[in-house]
Structure formats: C-alpha cells, structure tokens
Chains A and B, each alone.
Chain A
Amino acid sequence: MNFSRIAPRMVQAGFAGAVLGAWHLATSSGQVSPLLLPPLASVYRALVSLLATGNFWPDLRVTGSELLIAFSIAAIGGCVIGYLVGRSGYAVQVFDPLFAGLYSIPAILLFPLYVLFFGIGPGSKIAMGITIAFFPVVLSTIAGLRRVDRVYISAARSMGASGPRMFWRVMLPAAFPVIFAGLRMGLILAFLAILGTEMVASFAGLGHRIVDLAENMDSARMFAYVVFVVGIAFLLNVAVSFVDARLRREAL
C-alpha cells in the first residue's frame, strides 16, 4: 500500500464528508430553518426527480444555446482578430494595450445597456458572454503567435516553408498551448457571465430558474439546480481537457 499516494485523497474525501455531515447535523437538529438550508435528503429527492422528469431541459437548452453562440462568436472572432493583429508588429503595438485595457474594465457594467439594446431575452446574455470571452481569446492568440520561438520559424524557412504551410504546421502548433489556455478561460468566463446575467434579468435559463426558486423559497429544488449546474460545469471542464489532449496529440 502506498500511503503517501492515498493520503491526499483521504483528506479530500474527509473534507467533503465533514461538510455534508455538518449540513446534516445543522438541518436535523432543527437549529437551522429548512428555508435557508433544506435537509440533505430533500435536496437529494429534488435532484433525483429533476433528473428523472427532465424538467431541466428547457432551461438547459436556453443557457446552453446562449453559451454555444456566445463562445463560438468570441472564439472565432478572437482567434481571427488575434491572428490579424499578431501578424504585424505595428498592429500589436496599437491593439495589444488597447485590448488589455478594455479587458480590465468590468464588462458586467455594460449589462443594463445590453438589456436596453438587445432586450431581456437571450440577446443580452449572448452579447455579455461575447464581451467577456472575447478578450482572453484575442489576447492569448496575439501573445501565443508573437512568442513563437524564432528558431522554429528559421528552421522551417530554411527547409522551404512559407505562407499557409508555415502557419498551419509551425505557427499554430507552436502557439497552440497559449491560445488554448485563452479559449478555456473564455469558455469559463462566458458561462459565468451568462449564468450571472440570467440571474439579474431574464425570462429563462438555469440562472433564471435558480433565482426564481430562491424567491419562491423552494430551497430544496434550488439546491438541486445548483448541484445540477455544478455537474454541467464539471462536464464542460472534462470535455475541454479531452479536446486539449486530443488536439495536442493528433491534429497538430
């Protein structure tokens, strides 16, 4: 038995167990109102019925499609603009500080404006997601392409590479880890932005549902939705890691 390997896992499991145990004790002793913290068992029942009935579908579809549209636009736009800027030293001097400056503005401040422009439906959520995800993607694309080691470029040139071959076979794979880190960051931020803005003003979506349930004091189902969203975020993360490993190994 390799204790030093198992020990960290045991501490982690112990921590999770302690949190759940404290939750159970707090609710079963009657010290905490079930409106604030519902019993574990009722959260579990609510989660099971949520998954069994498939009641989450309409909200998941709204949030999922908002995320998909926002992230696709931000990713494609960020990569293309990052590539165009990254090609020229002059453009980098102009746009890199500009993008970095805009990135540091809390974009959420624009949300009331977006609701006015794009309405209270998915439009404003998508716009928010794009605004928030675009900057990490474009900045990392510029940085990734600019920091490609000169020796790779010289070596490829000496062997006759130029134009599209140079880009697809050398620049892109060399910059890929940095660009991918930006894409990953963009996806996470877009998801957060969309959930958050759904909570502030919306008709539908997972964020909307959670706030709605909280306002109706239906805490057990609200917690069930929170657990469900955490599960979605986890799956998203696993999918991204899988794509990363696969692209690194095969496509490049």
Chain B
Amino acid sequence: MSGATPAIQVERVTQAFGPPGSARRILALEEASIDVARGELVCLIGPSGCGKSSLLNVMGGLAAPSSGKVWIDGELVRGPSPRKVAYVFQENALFPWRTVIENLKLGMEFGRIPKGERHERATRALEAVGLSEFAGYYPGQLSGGMKQRAQLARALALETEILLMDEPFAALDEQTRMVLGEDLSVLLARTGKTIVFVTHSLMEAVFLADRVAVFSARPGRIKHILSVEEGHPRSPAFMTSAKLSALRNQLYEILHDEIRKAMNLRGPESASQAGKGEER
C-alpha cells in the first residue's frame, strides 16, 4: 500500500532565477534528489544562497522548479496542497491584523476545513504549543519565540502529514531556539509527522534531524547525507552528549569548504563587479 511510498520524493530538481540565457541568471539549485520517509525529520543545511529554501518552496508547491519533479504521497506536486503539507516560515508570517486564534482559524478557512471544526482544532493546536492563554493576543503583543509557536500551531491545526519549516527559529536567540527545538522533538515523537526543516545552525540540525542533507555552495547540490541514529523525543541530555558533538564536528568538516566557497563568491571584488553590472 501507500506505506511503501516515501512521503516526499524529490527527483533532480533544478531551480534557476532570472531570464534564461542572461548574465543575471542565477542557478540556485542543481539536480537535487532526496526521498523523505514517513515520520522522518530531514534537515537541509548549507551556505547562504545554496538553494535549500528554494527546494523547500518547490516541495510545498509555492514555486515551480526550472526542471525536475517532486511527489508528495506519490502525487506530483503542481501547487500548494494544504491538505497534505503545512508550512512554517522564518518570522512575521502571522497576519498582524488578527489575533492568534483568528490566525489559526483563517488558516483553516483557507484550507477548507469545515467551520464547525475550526474552534476545537485551534484550541487543541494552541494547547500543543503551550499558547492557550495567548489565544486572544495580537501577534504584535507576542515575543519572537511565542510568535513562532503560534505559527507552528497554525500549521498543526491544518493536521497535515507533512510539515515544511523554513528556518523557523533563525530570528530567535539561542536559548529560546534550544527550548523550541526540544519542544519540537517532543511534538514530532507524539504526532509522527514528516518534517523537512531548513536551518543554518549545525547544532539545531544534529539535535533535531534523523538525517541531515548538506548542500554545496551555489549552485546548490546535495553533497552529503548524514544520519543521526537517535530516537525522538530527544532529551536535553542528548544536547550535551559526546555523540552529538562528534556528529556536529563531522558536519562542520563537510560544510567548512562549502561555506568558504560561498563567502568567496560574495567577496569585495565580485561585489563591485556586480555593482557595475547593475549600472549598465
């Protein structure tokens, strides 16, 4: 049955921006292929501009790839599929003119969830992320960490099998993101969701992921896939374990050269040339 099909299949996805054939065309992602199993948490990590967010957008149907294909549940992705995939964005993706619970309900309205179910689902999702008391607050009244919890609740309320997260904790301070990471691991163990998580943080990647896909510098390719053999939920003790440090160091070695390459691409010389190009 469908249990054999991976939750997400990505086949040779290439993503380029800018008009074809022009000097300004940027190849962000080249021939990326990866399968994500059901209930698995895969982290995408790599230098800035390596196309990891682009890949996530293609998976979610928010962007069409230049070439290649993505299947969700064995079905070819042609656009957003809110019944199967929910999204958590970096920050400020809550609608500021609505309260937290109204944000959740609006998401469900977009997702065509019957009106009668919305309130109960919203209450449950807010409880799951520990925000029940703040249901009536506007996003502007919440801290950064609470906003991201609320965004997570909005995604959870859609009760999709798959969760795509685009650097959801990037704008938070380290302590808040550690706590949110732990909570996410607990939630994952309980709900059995399939999650693809884009991050810049080596620590976060190793702590959360079942597998870490490491991207090369632009044009991004999946250079290496690192497995983290550790059950969920992950305890705070795992954070300080030798195993995590070893994996983190291994990840650093794989990434190190790519980060340098990415930095050189944006060195002072190439930046000034880009400036001239703009003037023309």
Contacts and interface: CB of A to CB of B under 8 A. Distances in A.
Given A151-B92, A154-B62, A155-B89, A160 B112 contact: yes
B107 interface: yes
Contacts of A170: 95
Interface stretch (B79-87, B203-211, B213-221): B79-87
Given A151-B89, A154-B89, A159-B158, A173 B97 contact: yes
Contact of A174 (B82, B85, B97): B97
Interface string A35-74: 0000000000000000000000000000000000000000
From B61, B80, B109, residue with most partner A Cβ within 10 Å: B80
A170 B106 CA distance: 10
Contact of A159 (B92, B97, B111): B111
Interface string B240-258: 0000000000000000000
A246 interface: no
Nearest to A172: B97
Contacts of B111: 159-160
What's the interface size class on A, roughly? 10 to 19
Contact of A158 (B62, B98, B112): B62
A110 interface: no
A169 B89 contact: no
Contacts of B62: 154, 157-158
B93 A154 contact: yes
B51 interface: no
B156 to A, nearest CB: 12
Contacts of A160: 80, 82-83, 110-112
Contact of B85 (A151, A158, A165, A169): A158
From A149, A154, A159, A248, residue with most partner B Cβ within 10 Å: A159
Given A158-B87, A159-B86, A165-B110, A152 B80 contact: no
A120 interface: no
A108 interface: no
Nearest to A170: B95
From B86, B92, B97, residue with most partner A Cβ within 10 Å: B97
B60 interface: yes
Interface residues of B, number: 24
A173 B97 CA distance: 7
A149 B82 contact: no
Interface in A126-183: 149, 151-152, 154-161, 165, 169-170, 173-174, 176
A76 interface: no
Interface string B78-120: 0010110111011011010110000000110111100000000
A165 to B, nearest CB: 7
A61 B38 CA distance: 71
A33 to B, nearest CB: 57
A152 B110 contact: no
A252 interface: yes
A156 B60 CA distance: 12
Nearest to B107: A159
Contacts of A165: 109-110
Contacts of B95: 152, 155, 170, 173-174
Given A158-B87, A160-B80, A149 B92 contact: yes
12 contacts: A151-B90, A151-B93, A155-B87, A155-B93, A158-B82, A158-B86, A159-B107, A160-B82, A160-B112, A161-B110, A173-B95, A174-B97
Interface of B: 60-62, 80, 82-83, 85-87, 89-90, 92-93, 95, 97-98, 106-107, 109-112, 154, 158
Given A160-B110, A174-B95, 11 more contacts: A151-B90, A152-B95, A155-B87, A155-B89, A158-B87, A159-B80, A159-B86, A159-B107, A169-B110, A173-B95, A252-B97
